[in-house]
Amino acid sequence: MSLSVADLSYTYNMGLPTEAAALKNISFEAEKGEIFSIVGHTGSGKSTLAMHLNGLMVLQSGEVIVDGIRVGGNPSDLRRIRQAVGLVFQYPEQQIFAETVREEISFGPSNWGLSGDALEERVCAAMDLIGLDRSFAQANPFMLSGGEKRRVAIASVLASDPDYLVLDEPSAGLDYNGLCELTSLLRKMSEKGKCVIHITHDLELALEISDRIMIISDGAVAAIGSPSEISGILSDIDIKGLILPDILSLSYELKKRGRIDKITSDPSELAEEIRTASSCR
């Protein structure tokens, strides 16, 4: 059981002078239990890709298959796919509409037909998962702080209990504590056997938290692999719009000049390498 994308292409304004290719022959497979990061610059097609994963976009060419169900089949399939694939948009707090936190979080599961105790259970589980105290349930979400609003919004997606959680730039605007909470949530979800698809422009963060990384540039897959594989090959390929994390780019440069042997994105490790190198001379 997995989410697989095969040869997916998409062009906006097809046939018009403003035609723009957003996705070009994208293929990948994301498994349950892993954090799969999709890294790309702004305008690389990441968000268009995200919207394909739960059938928000009409397929032009290629396939998206969720647990064996093909996107673009019949409408009841679409409902099943949307339940299975939870999509957290960028700045999700902007979609909050309900008068109470409880009502907001129960919006998803009640749309999928849950009610009564089952619904209540889902809401509580989602709040626990995201670390929102149950006392918040009756609070007005609009009166909460920015960080709390974001948590309510993410909880409202978690409440549908999706097997695949797609998050588009979830770390945008978070402070350090918010970021720590987010990464621990993503880890928790993958440990629970969920598949976390984390879409970001932050390669540094992706290298730190992912099991696998796919880099897209101008709508096409530029690289795919584990963080260490990705670190190993990034110096050889030039990816438009991608800024390497400082430590990584420094270590590439020193390696290229033959000063150090090992490529790393860890600052202490790099310091150690440099120290060894300088004492050898």
Partner 1 sequence: MPLIRGMALGQYIPADTPIHRLDPRSKLLITVLSMVLIFLTKSFPAMAMWAALIFIVAKVSKIPASSLLRSAGPILILIIFTSLLHVFFTGGETVIFSIGPLRASAEGTITAFRTGLRLFLLVLFTALLTFTTSPSELSDGLEAALGPLSRFGFPAHEVAMMMTIALRFIPTLFEETERIINAQVSRGADFESGGLLKRAKAYIPVLIPLFVLVFKRADTLASAMETRCYRGGKGRVRMYPLTWGSAENRAVLCFALFSAVVLLLNRLA
Partner 2 sequence: MSSGTTLCLEGAEFQYPETGKKVLKGIDLEIRAGEWVALLGPNGSGKSTLLKLFNALLIPSQGRCFVDGMDTKDQANTEIIRSKVSMVFQNPEDQIVASVVEEDTAFGPENLGLSSEEIRTRVKEALMGTGLWEKRKHAVSSLSGGQKQRLALAGVLAIRPGALLLDEAMSMLDPASRRSFLDLVRKEHDSGRTVVQVTHRLDETVLSDRTVVVADGKIQWQGSTEGFLSLEESRLREMGFAKPPLAVLREELVKNGILPPSTKPDISEIRGKLCLSL
What is the binding site for partner 1 (CB under 8 A)? 12-13, 16-18, 20, 22, 51, 54, 56, 79, 82-83, 86-87, 89-90, 92, 94-98, 107-108, 111-112, 142, 156-157, 160
Please answer whether residues 220 and 26 qualify as being in contact, where contact means their C-beta atoms are separated by less than 8 angstroms: yes
What is the distance in angstroms between the CA of the first residue and the CA of the last residue of the chain? Answer: 54
DSSP assignment, residue 207?
A: H
Q: How many residues does the chain have?
A: 281
**Min. distance of Cβ 262 from partner 1 in angstroms?**
42
Binding mask 33-72 for partner 2 (x = CB under 8 A): --------xxx-----------------------------
User: Number of residues in contact with partner 2, rule: CB under 8 A?
Assistant: 41
* Cβ nearer to partner 2, comparing 21 with 277: 277
Report CA dihedral (51, 167, 62, 41) to the nearest 10 degrees.
90
Tokens 């290629």 map to which residue?
62
In angstroms, what is the minimal distance from the CB of 74 to partner 2? 37
66/223 with CB nearer partner 2: 223
- Comparison of 142 and 172: residue with beta carbon closer to partner 1: 142
CA distance 266 to 27: 30
Residues 6+ apart with CB under 8 A from 76: none
Residue among 112 and 252 whose Cβ is closer to partner 1: 112
- Taking the complex as a whole, how short is the minimal distance between the CB of residue 60 and partner 2, in angstroms? 23
Choose the one of partner 2, partner 1, none that binds residue 253, judging by a C-beta under 5 to 8 angstroms depending on kind.
Answer: partner 2
Of 107 and 252, CB closest to partner 1: 107
**What is the C-alpha to C-alpha distance for residues 231 and 97, in angstroms, rounded to an integer?**
42
Could you tell which of partner 2, partner 1, none binds residue 94, using a CB distance below 5 to 8 A set by kind? partner 1
Structural Rg of the chain based on CA atoms: 21
Report the residue number, 86 or 245, with the smaller CB distance to partner 1: 86
- Reduce the DSSP state of residue 255 to 3 states and report it: helix
Nearest of 123, 128, 130 to residue 100 by alpha carbon: 123
Residues between 81 and 100 that touch partner 2 (CB under 8 A): none
Residues 6+ apart with CB under 8 A from 35: 186, 187, 190, 196, 198, 209, 210, 211, 212
By the 8 A CB rule, do 64 and 71 touch?
yes
Cα 7 → chain centroid? 20
User: Least separation, in Å, of the C-beta of 50 and partner 1?
Assistant: 10
Residues 205-244 that bind partner 2 (CB under 8 A): 241-243
Q: What angle (nearest 5°) sits at the alpha carbon of residue 211, between those of residues 209 and 214?
A: 95
Q: How far is the CB of 232 from partner 2 (least distance, A)?
A: 18
Residues between 145 and 174 with contacts to partner 2, criterion CB under 8 A: 145-147, 172-173
Q: Which residues bind partner 2 (CB under 8 A)?
A: 41-43, 145-147, 172-173, 175-179, 201-204, 241-243, 245-247, 249-250, 253-254, 257, 259, 265-268, 270-272, 274-275, 277-278, 281
